[in-house]
Amino acid sequence: MKIYAITLFSNKERYNHINSHLKKLHLDYKFIEAIDKKDISDDDMKLYYNISNINELPDFINKGNTANKISKLRAYKDFLSSNEKVAFFIEDDIILPHNIKEILDKIEKEINDNEVILLDYRTVNTSYKIGISRANSKKINNGLLAYPTQLLGLVGSGAYILHKNVAENIIKLDLYKNNFSDSWNDFYQKDAFDQLRVLYPVVTKFKPFSSAIGYIPSGSLKYKIKNFIERYKIPFLYQLLIFKRKYFLRSVAKQFFLTDEISPIDKIK
């Protein structure tokens, strides 16, 4: 299976992590150079979203997640130019399990022609609890390849597998214009794919790097304080920052439970 690692080469901490990690796992991978949000101008934003005024954009869209989306599209286009039918896309803060190659080989034999399979998945916040259906699930090593009972509230784009048809649909339908790169429910509603399964329980983890997207406005006092703490690794405050990131990721990764309920997106039933 083709592996695409999306990373910003100028961010040495992230690049060194993912490069070293993938080498240790003896994986065959290709880097896709991510776009730096600093290189995206207001004019680029207006052109990308087809607007005349930058203030027309909703608050949740910024240059960081726009750079992220364009970087993903760059990876998909590379994938579509290959002879591969499926590909594994990863972000540069991911930590994969030691047996990832075995997992990918087994999933490649199971994936359908119009399907997404998530190895990284979370709930958008802890208000969501999402069932994972045992019905029509497949045993993959110590886990289950299974359907979630809903896509609303399900996010995660750190590690996922796409069939070529899905990558083609995302580009053709222009779905990243007003969505995040992990808006799986919206993508499903707009016919980007027919099926989505997850590997349960979650087998991936993350390095607690600062967000490359930048949800805190760069000119704000909160951003300046966070950046100062991070840059100089201020004792206690830096450790507290890392703890909070890890705690949040653990919390939203635990919002899933096994159920015998048949998922509405299960096309096998």
Q: Report the C-alpha gap between 148 and 134 in whole angstroms.
A: 9
Element holding 117 (H helix, E strand)? strand 115-118
Instruction: Dump pLDDT digits (tens) for 183-236.
Output: 999 999 999 999 999 999 999 999 999 877 766 666 677 878 888 888 888 998
Domains, in order of start, for the chain:
2-209+255-259 (3.90.550)
pLDDT at residue 126, rounded to an integer: 94
Please state at what angle helix 237-253 crosses helix 221-232, rounded to 10 degrees.
Answer: 110
Low-confidence ranges of the chain (pLDDT < 70): 214-219, 268-269
SS3 at position 209:
coil
Q: Report the C-alpha gap between 212 and 151 in whole angstroms.
A: 25
pLDDT at residue 217, rounded to an integer: 65
pLDDT at residue 182, rounded to an integer: 94
pLDDT at residue 234, rounded to an integer: 92
**Does residue 201 have a cis bond before it (omega within 30 degrees)?**
yes
Q: Report the C-alpha gap between 237 and 162 in whole angstroms.
A: 39
